[in-house]
Amino acid sequence: MPELDMTRSFRRTVRTFVNLLPIFTGMLLLTSLVLTLFPERLYAGFFGSSNTLDALIGASVGSMAAGHPLASYLLGGELLDNGVSLVAVTALIVSWVTVGLVQLPVEALLLGARFAFCRNVISFFSAIAVALLSVWSLRYIG
Partner 1 sequence: MPSRRKKTGFGGWLFLLLVLTAYGITGVIDTETTGQALRFSATVMLSALPAVVMVFFLLLAADLLFKPAWIKRHLGRTAGVNAWLLAVVGGVLASGPVYAWYPLLRELRDKGMRAPLAAVFLYSRAVKLPLLPLMIHYFGLAYTLVLCLYLLGFSIANGVLMEKLENPGEPSD
Nearest to 67 by CA among 35, 105, 19: 19
C-beta of 17 vs 49, nearer to partner 1: 17
- Long-range own/partner contacts, residues 40-43 (CB < 8 A, 24 or more apart): 40/82, 40/83, 43/84
Burial degree of 75 (CB within 10 A; 0-12, 13-18, 19+): buried
End-to-end C-alpha distance for the chain, whole angstroms: 50
Nearest to 115 by CA among 104, 102, 130, 125: 104
Cβ 9 to partner 1, closest distance in Å?
4
Residues that bind partner 1 (CB under 8 A): 5-6, 9-10, 12-13, 15-17, 19-26, 28-30, 32-33, 35-37, 67-70, 73-74, 76-78, 80, 86, 90, 94, 97-98, 100, 103, 106-107, 110-112, 115, 118-119, 122-123, 126, 129-130, 133-134, 137-138, 141
Nearest to 57 by CA among 97, 31, 27, 84: 84
Cβ 95 to partner 1, closest distance in Å?
9
C-beta of 57 vs 72, nearer to partner 1: 72
Cβ 27 to partner 1, closest distance in Å?
8
Cβ 51 to partner 1, closest distance in Å?
15
